[in-house]
Amino acid sequence: MSEYQITKLNKVVRGSKRATYNIEEIHQILDDTFLCHIGYVWSDGAIVIPTAYGRDGDTIYIHGSLKNRMMTNLLEVGKASISVTHLDGLVMARSAFHHSANYRSATIFGNVRKVEDSEEKMKALQCILDHMVPGHWNNIRQPNTKEINATLVMAIKIDMASAKVRAEGVVDEKEDHELPIWSGVIPIKQVALAPISEKDLKEGISIPESVSKYVAKNKLS
């Protein structure tokens, strides 16, 4: 079982019993969504921005405009920290103190670099789109030279990472078990509804298989 090295930076201190450094588990947490939050410092203030990403091995790709403040800041600093969280359930205890949530969260630390090579740049953009909806890259008009040149792509190598996972029921005080109060877990799931085609589509254009597969996999069941 391969794990990320534990350092002062990625060591989980609070709730350490829920920590994992397992590479496969952390990669799965990353692969189960496409939205992350990235923190950076600007004008002596901390800012956190949500952004889409794609993962290819131990590299995370993000993209933006050439003057994207967050990305230019991270490139200047040379390091980044990324956070990803899944909310899986609301844990409703008998007491206010023991209310909680079931979740899977991962925090990534890595060195950043600007993607200059045009072939890698195109591959990175495909990675981001296919991370969102697998296989959809082949259904679209791919970026032209002007669009590629107007896009800043950044690669973040995963050097260290840790995750925390809670997947259990209510942990109440024993004396509270006799109280006439309901407790339990409300499962939470992000679902996909039926796709809505644009009204100006040319006649005969059908929903791509990649979209149909995504909806079928993530529909309410």
Domain membership of residue 160 as a residue range:
16-188
Pair (184, 195) in one structural domain: no
Tokens of 204: 């005969």
Q: Note the Cα 100 to chain centre separation in Å.
A: 21
CATH code (residue 147) = 2.30.110.10
Distance CA 29, CA 27 (A): 5
Pair (102, 161) in one structural domain: yes
Question: Using alpha carbons only, how large is the chain's radius of gyration in Å?
Answer: 21
Looking at the chain, the whole-number percentage of residues with pLDDT higher than 90 is 93
Distance CA 153, CA 59 (A): 12
48 domain residue, yes or no: yes
Torsion angle of C-alpha atoms 212, 56, 149, 66, degrees rounded to 10: 100
Pair (113, 149) in one structural domain: yes
pLDDT tens digits, one per residue of 54-74: 999 999 999 999 989 999 999
pTM, 2 dp: 0.91
Asked whether the beta carbons of 122 and 143 are under 8 A apart, the reply is: yes
Pair (28, 98) in one structural domain: yes
Tokens of 123: 């591959």
- Number of domains composing the chain: 2
pLDDT confidence of 1, banded at 50, 70, 90?
Answer: low
Give me the residue label for tokens 């009204």.
199
